[in-house]
Amino acid sequence: MFELLIKSIQEKVPSTEEELHLCKTYFTPKRLRRKQFLLQEGDVCNRMAFVEKGALYSYTTDAKGGQRVMQFAFEGFWISDLYSFFTREESKLNIEALEDCELLLLDHEQHDYLLKNVRQYETYIRILYQNAYVALQQRLEVTIGLTAEEKYSHLVDQYSTIVNRVPQHLIASYLGITPETLSRIRKQIASR
């Protein structure tokens, strides 16, 4: 149950077996069925989730009731609404399971405790943010700079997991285009 988390920590902050073993005590395992929610808009996000198995995605709902996909998370990734998690304000995000999931949850209190008392945890989190920030910056570049087709090609090249495991209309939303446009782009690419 903790294999991937331990691997993720080990990669970033070399630690002893004991230390790694200890960290287990702070996390709560949780199973989630496809279509179940980890977070619903209006609630305060009180935890971060590490994905041991399965897939989830987060999205906002716009004025006309449409989804705007913000993030996908697969095995080995974290997902949460960090804005709500830190500010303690109501979240505007929904986090929903795309597939049946096995998660490890860390709640706000435990996160704070670990930050204060376990130096390695703070280092781990710092590196996590560092990577997340850089990845988000690249996504922004792609989103602003490329045409719909280029965005999709980039996704296929760089994040084939997403393309393989996620329904097309959610990919379209993630790229900021309509499902119809994505369908046409795929047709065009296929015909070459």
Output 108 or 186, the one with its CB closest to DNA. 186
Tell whether residue 37 is a contact of a second copy (CB under 8 A): no
The one segment of 19-27, 100-108, 134-142, 162-170 that binds a second copy by CB under 8 A: 134-142
Tell whether residue 186 is a contact of DNA (CB under 7 A): yes
- CA-CA distance, 67 to 163, in Å (whole number)? 18
In this structure, the number of other CB atoms found within 10 A of the CB of residue 135 comes to 10
Q: Which positions from 20 through 39 interact with DNA, judged by CB under 7 A?
A: 34-35
110: which 2 tokens?
Answer: 């435990």
- CA-CA distance, 153 to 81, in Å (whole number)? 28
Contacts of 60 (CB under 8 A, 6+ apart): 41, 67, 68, 70, 92, 93, 94
The one segment of 8-16, 45-53, 80-88, 158-166 that binds a second copy by CB under 8 A: 80-88
Tell whether residue 61 is a contact of a second copy (CB under 8 A): no
Question: Which of DNA, a second copy, none does residue 53 bind (CB under 5 to 8 Å by kind)?
Answer: none
91: which 2 tokens?
Answer: 């979240």
Cα 20 off chain centre by? 23
- CA-CA distance, 49 to 30, in Å (whole number)? 9
Tell me how far, at minimum, the Cβ of 122 lies from a second copy, in Å: 6
Applying CB under 7 A, among 1, 3, 119, 167 the residue interacting with DNA is 167
Tell me which residues touch a second copy (CB under 8 A). Answer: 60, 62, 68, 70, 82-83, 86, 115, 119, 122-123, 125-126, 129-130, 132-134, 136-141, 143-145, 176
